[in-house]
Structure 1
Amino acid sequence: MLKILFSPAESKKIGGEESKKELFGSSGAREGILNEYVNIVNSGNEDTIKELFGFKRLSDCKPYINNIFDAPLMHAIERYNGVAYEYLDFDSLEPEAKEYLKLNTIIFSNLYGPLLGGDAIANYKVKQGNNIGSFIPDKFYKDRFSYQLDLYLANCEILDLRAGHYDKFYEIKKPYTTLKFLKGGKSVSHWAKAYRGLVLRAVAQNNINSIKEFMALEIEGLSIAEIRVIKAKTEIIYNIME
């Protein structure tokens, strides 16, 4: 089976109607950091809240000032709506492709840590790279969840579509495949987000279950320029076609 590692997004959809359930790994392992987040958000300390969320105005913070333990829940794969998720366009997928993403995508949240796409989470805000009180999210989740992820991924192939920052949450200890996108011979950042979303969409639509199947997949707007193998990492370099 193929598992896809993916990044979250700063922006998120509001609302949700999912039922509360156990998150990937163990909800108990998250208790400390989630409680710290709730304490900050409901502290009334405007400067601390704005710093955590990465906003300059308190009015921008208001959609996120809630108790995440009682807030409406939405599947993680649906909650985020940044560039990659806009190009994934989850809502337009067929039911089988949606279920594929819920089961086979692992998203590395700045608050919740590693989540399956189908895990139900609240609307929240933590600016990438920020601490949550005394907690350093990437270090905290790397320490708490690496062993569980190693076990979970032991018999799976891995397609790593994370942005670089989220490598800090989990170091892959087995062979894996990652992608790089070039336009005009230069590596891109904004368009890399878009094409990660398009790649994830194509993988789900075609029910890709192995790296071999992925290598044979034609993705609109991309052509393979080179494949590099560096120790455990296979890097597929795509040209973005004009």
Structure 2
Amino acid sequence: MIILFAPSEGKRKGGECPPLQHDSFLFPQMYQKRMEIVAQYEAVIAEGEQEKLCELFGVKDPKEYERYRLPFLKAPTMRAIERYDGVAYDYLDFPSLSSDAQSYIERHVILFSNLFGPIGAGDCIPDYKVKQGSKIGSCVPEKEYKKDFSSVLDEKIAGEEILDLRAGFYDKFYTPASRVTTLKFLKEGKVVSHWAKAYRGIVLREAASARIKGIDGLLAMNIEGLVLEKIIETKTKKEIVYNVC
């Protein structure tokens, strides 16, 4: 199966892996396409116009973007699943997983970066910051990646069950050609919004720990704090609804 997962705007600093190279990413044949967008990102930074930088990074204090000035050809990298630092990743707690569970995530999870597009969880990326929904120079990354990468994603995912744990915004990067399974979380009858990130992290952690092979494996799991309420099925989607307790 394939699990689709969202990134986080927060990132951990540093890294011990080499700078970006041709085989750094899933789909190495698309490396140049990514680098065209990266070149625009680095051009905005090099230009140094404060208003554009604050918009790109989603910050108000110019000092906050000093850490992003190091060119990517020199910047150290770390695995994407460890680079991202936010609610979902806190609850996933990747470093504490067993080596088998970590390997499962690296094999099965595709992340959607606001700068690099669809990447493997184990792909090594540098520290960067792009506010969700921001343009990068003249580029609208979600549109560019959807246009250029949908066919290679469809080819990779063909025949696999898909668990889509992304936030809704990341549908703009890729809409799977085949049927997907999504999750919804309810608390006291109301849809959980912000804290849904935490529960997605929990579900991914439990799925990796159990090394599930498909959606039936997910449904068979007893996940602490979540109770299966119902399953809603349409031609394009299976939605699993959990009550948070």
> 1: distance between equivalents of 2:45 and 2:78?
20
Q: Is the 8 A contact 1:42 1:66 kept in 2?
A: no
Choose the corresponding residue for 2:24, options 22, 25, 40: 22
Pairwise mapping of residues 1-242 of structure 1 onto structure 2 (< 5 A)?
2-19=1-18, 20=20, 21-25=23-27, 26-241=30-245
Distance 1:160 1:43 in 2: 37
**Structure 2 spans left out of the alignment, 5+ residues:** none
Query: TM-score w.r.t. structure 1 length?
Result: 0.97
The Cα RMSD (Å) is 1.0
TM norm structure 2:
0.95
User: How many equivalent residue pairs?
Assistant: 240
Q: 3-state SS of the aligned residue for 1:190?
A: coil
Cα offset for 1:66? 2.0
Identity of aligned residues (%): 49
Distance 1:89 1:210 in 2: 22
- In the aligned structure 2, how far is the partner of 1:155 from the partner of 1:120? 27
Structure 2: distance between partners of 1:226 and 1:209: 21
Structure-1 separation of matches of 2:12 and 2:98: 20
Question: What residue identity is the alignment partner of 1:112?
Answer: F
Within 1, Cα distance between the matches of 2:125 and 2:56? 18
- The answer on whether the counterparts of 1:178 and 1:234 sit within 8 Å (CA) in structure 2 is yes
Which secondary structure does the structure 1 equivalent of 2:212 belong to?
Answer: coil
1:182 and 1:239 in contact (8 A); partners too: yes
Contact 1:41/1:66, CA 8 A, preserved across alignment: no
Question: Partners of 1:148 and 1:125 in 2: how far apart?
Answer: 25
- How many angstroms does 1:24 deviate by? 1.2
How far does the alpha carbon of each residue in 1:5-49 deviate from its partner, in whole angstroms, 9 at most, with x for none? 000001000011123433112211212101000111122222211
In structure 2, give the amino acid aligned to 1:210. G
Deviation string 1:159-196 (CA, Å, 9 cap, x unpaired) is 00000000010011111100000011000112100000
Counterpart of 1:24, as a letter, is L
Q: Could you list the per-position Cα deviations for residues 41-84 of structure 1 after superposition, in whole angstroms to 9, with x for gaps in the alignment?
A: 12222221111101111011122222123211011111001100
SS at match of 2:78: strand
Output the CA distance in 2 between the equivalents of 1:203 and 1:28: 33
* Whole-angstrom CA distance in 2 between matches of 1:6 and 1:206: 18
Point out where structure 1 has 5 or more consecutive residues left out of the alignment: none
